[in-house]
Amino acid sequence: MLAKLLMLIFGMALIGAGVLAVRQQHIQIAHEMTATRLQVQELDDELTRLRARIAEKTRPELVASKVETLGPVRPIVRSESPAKPARDTAEDPAL
């Protein structure tokens, strides 16, 4: 009888230790997820700040004034091959 009682106590202790280990893993994962979410939020904030700086530095009037200081510019477009005309899909019932 005493052996059965000791085995029961030992088994319950093992189950309790297992439950505590699973609980600790759950808490650790929740902490890592929260830290990751905070890091993502910080990176999003930095991205927003960088986009605002880019928008400020690429205002049309600033770009135009910088282009004027460079002198005459030409577009970098190949003019050897003319653009293909757009197909009229209204006449073609297959499209």
Residue 7 lies in a domain: no
Residue 88 lies in a domain: no
Is this structure's pTM higher than 0.75? no
Over residues 57-68, the pLDDT tens digits come to 888 888 888 888
Over residues 27-83, the pLDDT tens digits come to 999 999 999 999 999 999 999 999 999 999 888 888 888 888 888 888 888 766 655
DSSP conformation class of 93: T
Alpha-carbon gap, residue 57 to 60, rounded angstroms: 9
Alpha-carbon gap, residue 54 to 48, rounded angstroms: 10
Residue 76 lies in a domain: no
Domain boundaries, position 40:
31-69
User: Residue 91 CB: number of other CB atoms within 10 A?
Assistant: 7
Residue 38 lies in a domain: yes
Alpha-carbon gap, residue 24 to 18, rounded angstroms: 10
Residue 93 lies in a domain: no
Residue 63 lies in a domain: yes
Residue 84 lies in a domain: no
Residue 53 lies in a domain: yes
Q: How many domains does the chain have?
A: 1
